[in-house]
Structure 1
C-alpha cells in the first residue's frame, strides 16, 4: 500500500472518529439539558397574552413546557401559598399579609399592563357611547336602570338610546380585575366607597355574576342591554363595543394602548418592591382605569432547574415577549420598568 493511500485512509478514519465524538458530545449535552414543566395559575386579565407567550417560548425552547390556568387572582395567590403551583398571576400583585404566609418568599414582577374597559351590548350603537363618571357609578350602584335614562343621553347627543333595561355583568370569582375597578370607583365616589368599597370580591348591588374575564365577555355578548367590565383584549378580540369614559380632567377617553400607556407614565414602581397603582390619573389624555398585572414567583425553589427556567422565561417575556403585547391589546413595558424587572428576577434562587 502506498504511503499516500495510507495517509488518505488515516485521514478518513480520523474524520469519522471526529464525527462520532461530536455526536456523542451532542447526545451528552442533550442529556444534560433537562426537560422542565412549569405550572401556573391566576388572573384571567393577562391570560390571552400569557398563552401566546408560553406557546412561543416553547417553540423556541422545546425542553420547557409552561401550563397556565386562568382561575382568577384570588385562586392563583392561594395556590401559590399552598405550594401547588410554580408561579401565580394577579392584577393586584400580593399583599404583605399574603406574602408573609409563603415560607419560600415571593417576588412580584409586573410583566405587562392593560386597561379595564366597560364593554356593552347595544346592537344599534356599535361605537361612540360616552359614559360620565357619575353615570357609570350610578349604573353599578343600580340607580340608572335603563339605557334611555336622561343622564346617559346628556353625554350622548345625537345617539338614539334604546328603551332597554341595563343588565350589569360582574365577576363572580375573586378577581384582581374587580379589585382594580372597585379601587377606581371608591377613589372617585364617596357613596360607592361607603356602600360597597373595593376588593377582589365584593357584595354587588346589581347584576349577574360570571367567572373570569372570559365569562363576563360571553355574558355581555349574549345579553342585549348588558354592560360589563373586562380587560381590553377580551373586548377587542371578541369585537364588543367599548365605552369612552370621562376622566378626572373631564375628557371622554376611548381606551386604547396609547391612552392606557399615558396613564402608566404616572405610575412609579419602587425599585425594592415593584408594586404600585394609580386609581384616578390626572393627565388630560389618560384613560382612567389601567393597571399592571403581576407574575408572582417564589424567591426560593427546591428544584434548581425550575428556578433557572423561570428566570430565563421572565427575561424573555420582558424583552422578546413584549413584541406580542400591542398585537393582543396589552401595553409594552417601558425600558425603565424592564431594567427593574430584570434586576428583581436575579433574586430568584435555587
Structure 2
C-alpha cells in the first residue's frame, strides 16, 4: 500500500521538467494497454504503446529507498496491464544485486550502479547469458540528515566537514565548537551524539560515503565508499525504516535516511552547508547531475554534484537504479519487464511526488524509454 508523504510538492513536480546534462531531447510518450494486447493513448508530447502480457508475476528485490516508488509503479502496472503483477522485496541494495546476479529475481533494485571492481558487472553479464546488464535510474530522492535533539530550537546547520567528523567519531557532542560555529555561534544542548547507520549492505550508505569523500576529503580521507558503513562509530539499524525508528527512539541521535522516511516519522532534518532540504533545493541538485554510462547503460556521475557547496542546492541526493538484462531473458520475461518499466517511467511518474520522490526529468524520461525499448 502506498504511504502518502505530506510535504510541499510543487517544486518536485517542477523538477520533472528539468533536463539532466548529457541527456537527449526525444519526445516523452505515455503508454497504454491491458491484458495480452497492445493499444495506445496520447501522452504529453506524443503517443506510444505498451505490450502487456508475458510473465504474469515478475520478481524484484533490493533498495529499501525506492520501496515507496515501487509501490506506485506496481499499482500503475496492475491498472495498465490487467492481471500482471510484480512482487518487490525491500531487502537492501546489496541483496538486490546479489539476487539479480544469481538469477533469483528478474529486476534488481540498487541505490548504486553495478561495481565492476567488485565483480558485479561481470556476474551480471553471466546472469544475462553473456549480455550486458543495464543500470536504469528510475527513482530520484534526497537523503536527509535526520536527528532527534530535545531542547534544540530552530534549524540546525551542519557543514560537510562537521558531518564527516560526526560519522567518524571526531565530534561526539552536540555542543562541540565546530557545530556551534556552523550555527552562527549558537550552542546546541550538551548531549552525546549517537550515530545511526545502515547495518546491512546499502546503496544509500554507498551514496552517503561517496558524498563525504567528495565534499569533505580532508576529514573522510581514504575511508572510501561502498555499501558497508566504514565510519567506525555508531549503531547499525536494518533498512531505512529501521534507521528512522532508531533515530526516533532516542535523544541525541543522527542518521542518514531517505527524505520520504524522514517525512513519515516527522523527523527533524539538518541543513547542509546552509541549504535546507526542500523540493526546490533537491530539484536544483538533480538538474546538475550528469550521465557517465555508455549507450543505454545510464549510470550517473554524482561526485561533482556531491562536492558542490553552491547556495540553493541540497547536494545529498541519490538515484535508485533498476538493474535489468539488455538481452538474455526468455521471451515472456522480456515482454513483462519492458511493460513494467514503460509504465513506471510514464503513467506512474505523476504519483511520485506524493510518495516522497522527484519525478523523472522529461528529457531523461526519454532516455529511459529508449533503453527499455531496446531490451531484447
TM over 0.5: yes
Match of 1:122? Answer: 149
Q: Structure 1, residues 120-169: CA drift from partner, whole Å, max 9, x if none?
A: 01133375111122211111121211112222122325856222111000
Written as runs of structure 1 = structure 2, the 5 A alignment for 1:193-342 is 193-246=220-273, 252-270=274-292, 272=295, 273-279=297-303, 280-281=307-308, 283-342=310-369
How many Å separate the matches in 2 of 1:119 and 1:90? 22
How many Å separate the matches in 1 of 2:100 and 2:81? 25
Counterpart selection for 1:74 from 76, 91, 94: 94
In structure 1, the residue corresponding to 2:268 is in which secondary structure?
coil
Higher RCO (C-alpha 8 Å, min separation 6): 2
Q: 1:346/1:167 Cα in 2 relative to 1: closer, same or farther (>3 Å)? A: same
How many Å separate the matches in 2 of 1:52 and 1:125? 36
Count of aligned pairs: 316
How many Å separate the matches in 2 of 1:192 and 1:304? 51
1:93 aligns with 2:113: yes
In structure 1, the residue corresponding to 2:210 is in which secondary structure?
helix
Following superposition, the deviation at residue 245 of structure 1 comes to 0.3
Q: What root-mean-square deviation, in Å, do the aligned CA atoms of Structure 1 and Structure 2 show?
A: 2.2
8 Å contact 1:117–1:242 — kept in the other structure? yes
TM-score by length of 1: 0.84
Q: 1:334/1:119 Cα in 2 relative to 1: closer, same or farther (>3 Å)? A: same
8 Å contact 1:169–1:227 — kept in the other structure? yes
Match of 2:191? Answer: 164
Following superposition, the deviation at residue 235 of structure 1 comes to 0.3
More helix by share: 1
Which runs of 5 or more structure 2 residues have no equivalent in the other structure? 1-34, 38-51
In structure 2, the residue corresponding to 1:40 is in which secondary structure?
strand
Following superposition, the deviation at residue 301 of structure 1 comes to 4.4
Q: 1:143/1:283 Cα in 2 relative to 1: closer, same or farther (>3 Å)? A: closer
Which runs of 5 or more structure 1 residues have no equivalent in the other structure? 1-26, 247-251
How many Å separate the matches in 2 of 1:339 and 1:28? 25
In structure 2, the residue corresponding to 1:200 is in which secondary structure?
coil
In structure 1, the residue corresponding to 2:108 is in which secondary structure?
strand
Counterpart selection for 2:135 from 84, 108, 119: 108
How many Å separate the matches in 1 of 2:185 and 2:353? 33
Following superposition, the deviation at residue 95 of structure 1 comes to 2.4
8 Å contact 1:109–1:274 — kept in the other structure? yes
8 Å contact 2:54–2:334 — kept in the other structure? no
TM-score by length of 2: 0.78
How many Å separate the matches in 1 of 2:242 and 2:79? 29
Following superposition, the deviation at residue 234 of structure 1 comes to 0.7
Q: Structure 1, residues 317-338: CA drift from partner, whole Å, max 9, x if none?
A: 1111111221122111111101
1:344 aligns with 2:371: yes
Following superposition, the deviation at residue 285 of structure 1 comes to 1.5
How many Å separate the matches in 2 of 1:173 and 1:153? 32
In structure 1, the residue corresponding to 2:151 is in which secondary structure?
coil
1:45 aligns with 2:65: yes
In structure 2, the residue corresponding to 1:333 is in which secondary structure?
coil
8 Å contact 2:286–2:317 — kept in the other structure? yes
8 Å contact 1:266–1:281 — kept in the other structure? no
Following superposition, the deviation at residue 282 of structure 1 comes to 5.2
